[in-house]
Structure 1
Amino acid sequence: MAGETPARKLTPIFGTTFADFGYKIDSETRLRQIANDEPFEFNVRQGDKRWNQMHYEALADVVGKYIEDELVATHGFDRVVIPVDANLTEPTSKIFLTPDAFTADRLLLLVAGVGVSVGQWARSIVMNDSINEGSFFNYIVQAKSEGYGIVVLDPNETRDSATEKPIRGSETAVRHTSYVWQHFIRKAKAAGIFIVAHSYGGVCTLALLDKYQDEFMQRVTAIAFTDSVHDVRSLKSRQCKGWLQKNAVNWATSEKSLNIPLSKNNSSGCLKRSAGHPLHAYTTVTAQNCVFKYFSAKSQHLGESEDGSEASESGSGNGSGSSKTASPRSPKRGCGGERVRECAQC
């Protein structure tokens, strides 16, 4: 019929469970094929990249739902719908809070990069290596053991998946982060707020500093960036730039040993250290021990002036207890081409 949109090729229906795809999660939280215990295989149909990509995306959605469910069922988070005053007809997003998020003495914010489902650092690691490593789970376990309340943001859910209508307050990743600060973080009683921000999550975090300035500098104790793509030149305030230089570290891709200082003059506006891995997707994984050691050192200065202590002092040393570079575990299918709806490297 004239004027009609040409019919689109239907997406195959693969299933909604791991078993539907012929996969399982093993005891080490690795995705394994039920038939032969082999790892994830992208090329299910040789030479049919489109079909293989759709299969990958569909299985990744199942993994994403599993991670989201585990945040609640295993890790004890509360799932909170936003906007907080949403009506019954408008699209919504969500964040996840530990029950002590508003009462804990220290509060940890986890902010992912572009294009991953909630609770994930890197989909490539989740699919090819380990769900615990590629998701927030390892950070959550350590943070809870050290007494942090935790907030998991979801900066990538900005539109309703069916209607494409923007979600009020979360129209962009930056607006989502600001909304969570306004409606949740401000209510927290924490003496110190700590942030882990990967990739574009660093841009969202810097936007908070730029927008809330004095409030942010008074409340936040330290920021751990992991290969963040932010640029300090986006900050308008000289005071904010000075605060960032003293209270943040960016663990970046490098062939050098873990935690070795890198270039001093960089767009991060803060101390830059080696994450001990050459691949962007793995930087949050390999830097974990250093991040928590840095936060612990910065915690000693809670209650002091907003300038805090020098990051170069409190972030020094090899957080893993070893001077060796983390083994570059290249994912079998890497962090590239076929990942079309996410950070090309994650």
Structure 2
Amino acid sequence: MLEASQSPIQSDFPYSFSEDGHLRHRETSEPYRFSFKLHDARETEREHRSLCLYITQHVYGLLERKFRLIRENLEDGSFVFMSPGVLEHPGSLLVLIQDWGTVRSGVWSWKLVAHGGLERGSQIPYLRWASLESCAVILTNPNEGMRTQEHHVRLVWECLVSQSSAEHVFVVAHGYGGLAFVDLLCRQLEEVQRRVKAVAFLDSSHSLWHQPLGNAGRDWLKSHSRTWILSTKPLNRSVGSLKAGCTQMSAGTQCHDSAPTVCMESVFRFFAKMIKPKAEPTPFEIITRSKSRANEQNNNADH
């Protein structure tokens, strides 16, 4: 089990992060390369666990120092990172739910961080957007603690999100995080419908048909969510079939780990669209339509 929350950052790790967020060897400045020892599987696993721990510790430090997020302990032994005063924040609230596995708060994929840097594999670009938009954040941590991801997401909702003053709640769910959110929707349908403005599913594991949503839950997701799936098509092209039950767009990548970063701008455009007031027809438009109908009726009468 990863113990990043309890250990000081590793000073003996041979790599460190450069100013541009890439892992470089401390002596040679070479980029990180995964090593696979065919005859020593335990050593390979140990090295990868060490890498995961180092990345997690580094990101935790950035969350606290650079973005001023605070760590909030939950009753099941897990914790989350969130904006100071998040419960009193009256504007928008962004909730990030990552995939299952060994990833922790602030990270979509530690492997992608190792290969492509913090801008590609971490949640830092999302935090930067939230800061620019004066949006509060809660970074869930569903792989921390001893309970299931579904339990963690429900606990975050009950203890934090449902208690917040946010006018709009936006959710971004990656992989299994999507299934955990839909599990929450199944259990607390009315409250989630009332509080959540929009959900972005990124190569999500959820199912509209195999999870006990019911018609009301499926109808709500159809109008309040969008799913980006792995595809060879360019980003944001329509994909999927009518059986999908909701809008499905191309993620612009075939890499599961890359989906959150590649889709980010599209996700935020979707959120902005969901809170944009619908334009009322102008008197001119109403008159024009009325005149068009009258002219059409007169023309039909003439014939």
TM-score range, shorter chain: 0.7 to 0.9
Deviation at 1:59, TM superposition (A): 2.1
Stretches of structure 2 lacking an aligned partner (at least 5 in a row): 1-6, 279-303
Report the TM-score, using the length of structure 2 for normalisation: 0.84
Q: 1:274: which partner in 2?
A: 250
Identity %: 26
CA distance in 2, matches of 1:94, 1:221: 25
Report the TM-score, using the length of structure 1 for normalisation: 0.74
- Counterpart secondary structure, 2:86: coil
Confirm or deny that 1:80 pairs with 2:72.
Answer: yes
Asked whether the equivalents of residues 153 and 181 of structure 2 are also in contact (C-alpha less than 8 Å), the reply is: yes
Deviation at 1:16, TM superposition (A): 6.5
Q: 4+ residue runs of structure 1 moved beyond 6 angstroms?
A: none
Asked whether the equivalents of residues 55 and 110 of structure 2 are also in contact (C-alpha less than 8 Å), the reply is: no
**Paired residue type of 1:104:** P
Deviation by residue 1:26-85 (Cα, 9 ceiling, x = unmatched): 1210111122221112227575343122112112101111111211111111111111xx
1:179 aligns with one of 142, 147, 155: 155
Q: 1:322: which partner in 2?
A: none
Q: 1:265: which partner in 2?
A: 242
Q: 2:297: which partner in 1?
A: none
Confirm or deny that 1:21 pairs with 2:21.
Answer: no
Q: 2:214: which partner in 1?
A: 237
CA distance in 1, matches of 2:176, 2:124: 20
1:34 aligns with one of 26, 36, 47: 26
CA distance in 2, matches of 1:45, 1:211: 46
Measured at CA, do residues 263 and 49 of structure 1 come closer, stay the same or move farther in structure 2, by a change above 3 Å? Answer: same
- Counterpart secondary structure, 1:201: helix
**Paired residue type of 1:129:** G
Deviation at 1:139, TM superposition (A): 0.5
Measured at CA, do residues 277 and 228 of structure 1 come closer, stay the same or move farther in structure 2, by a change above 3 Å? Answer: same
Instruction: Flag the structure with larger Rg.
Output: 2
Stretches of structure 1 lacking an aligned partner (at least 5 in a row): 1-14, 84-90, 160-170, 303-346
Measured at CA, do residues 140 and 74 of structure 1 come closer, stay the same or move farther in structure 2, by a change above 3 Å? Answer: same
Asked whether the equivalents of residues 158 and 173 of structure 1 are also in contact (C-alpha less than 8 Å), the reply is: no
Q: Which has the higher helix share?
A: 2
Deviation by residue 1:300-346 (Cα, 9 ceiling, x = unmatched): 149xxxxxxxxxxxxxxxxxxxxxxxxxxxxxxxxxxxxxxxxxxxx
1:67 aligns with one of 56, 59, 66: 59
Q: 2:78: which partner in 1?
A: 93
Asked whether the equivalents of residues 199 and 225 of structure 2 are also in contact (C-alpha less than 8 Å), the reply is: yes
Q: 2:230: which partner in 1?
A: 253
2:262 aligns with one of 281, 286, 292: 286
Question: What CA RMSD, in Å, does the superposition of the two structures yield over aligned residues?
Answer: 1.9
Asked whether the equivalents of residues 101 and 149 of structure 1 are also in contact (C-alpha less than 8 Å), the reply is: yes
Deviation by residue 1:263-308 (Cα, 9 ceiling, x = unmatched): 13355x4211011011111111100000011111111149xxxxxx
